Amino acid sequence: MTDDESAVRRLVRDRYADAASDGCCGGAETSCCGDGDSGSDASDTASDADEIAREIGYDDESIETVEGEANLGLGCGNPTAIADLEPGETVLDLGSGGGFDCFLAAREVGPNGRVIGVDMTPEMIEKARANARTNDAGNVSFRLGEIEHLPVADSVVDTIISNCVVNLSPAKDRVFEEAYRVLRPGGRLAITDPVRTDSLPEAVREDPGSLAGCISGAESAERIASLLEAAGFVDISIELDPDSRAVIDEWHDEYDLGGSLLSARIEAEKPAE
């Protein structure tokens, strides 16, 4: 790991440790959930996170089904809506945060299925495990680890989901290589992530907070497709969501980012043997 990669991971880990403690976004000036306010009370924070969830594609039933503090308003889409999960499947969530998507996935795979959440922030893992107890989610477990070095065995996962996380990695090639490794033959990747559609303002590119805020680490659709193909994936699909423009415009206090970034639904498969 290079010094630059280590610095990025520390920055991201610190930011999401704050988010785990303070609620939606931890009061970050730039964030993938708008302008978080750590001074708000708990009910205001929960209400903000619920509204963000609605804006990025979750319905009221999904929001109301998950109890506790799992929904932190940190996403840019709804990966469970595109994953076509089946009962009995094993699902892996990359960068699982408070566990919101994991608990929604658990509903789909049922008691005979299994959901694994991986997050590199100890504070998030602690929060997610508490939320699992609150939701009585016996088929959901959370593991501390980096998405570039997954604490998961080879060829054991049916579906990988992730929500606004891959862009945070300084080594996206390794993320997709690891995803390919842990998927069973015929398994699939179904994630949502911001995609760069135009150049970002120089001040945004050079701002460390923009990286931790899911902005400056975003790649173009062409680059993401190239990385997925290099890792071995086939049937790659990257669908931009034009409706995400209004949400993304709220990610930065000074710049309207909707002309440079859009949320995308990214899907790919590991070839069947």
Mean pLDDT per 10-residue section of the chain, whose length is 273 residues: 70 81 50 43 64 88 91 89 96 96 97 97 95 96 97 98 93 97 98 92 76 81 98 98 85 78 96 91
Predicted TM-score (pTM) of this structure: 0.90
pLDDT score for 22: 66
Distances (CA, A) of 254 to 1, 93, 187, 203: 33, 32, 41, 10
Helix ranges (H only) for the chain are 3-22, 42-55, 60-65, 100-109, 122-134, 172-182, 202-205, 208-212, 221-231, 245-248
pLDDT score for 240: 95
pLDDT score for 73: 83
Structurally, at CATH architecture level, domain 3-20+44-270 sits in: 3-Layer(aba) Sandwich (3.40)
Q: Do 152 and 92 form a contact (C-beta atoms < 8 A)?
A: yes
pLDDT score for 42: 47
Q: Do 54 and 60 form a contact (C-beta atoms < 8 A)?
A: yes
pLDDT score for 137: 95
Domain ranges of the chain: 3-20+44-270
In 3D space, the residue among 95, 94, 92 whose CA is nearest the CA of residue 105 turns out to be: 92
Q: At what angle do helices 100-109 and 122-134 cross, to 10 degrees?
A: 40
Q: Do 89 and 159 form a contact (C-beta atoms < 8 A)?
A: yes
In 3D space, the residue among 243, 262, 246, 252 whose CA is nearest the CA of residue 194 turns out to be: 262
Instruction: Render pLDDT for 11-47 as a digit per residue (tens, 0 to 9).
Output: 888 887 888 876 554 444 444 544 444 344 444 556 7
Q: Do 270 and 180 form a contact (C-beta atoms < 8 A)?
A: yes
pLDDT score for 36: 40
pLDDT score for 35: 42
Burial status of residue 146 (CB atoms within 10 A of its CB: 0-12, 13-18, 19 or more): buried
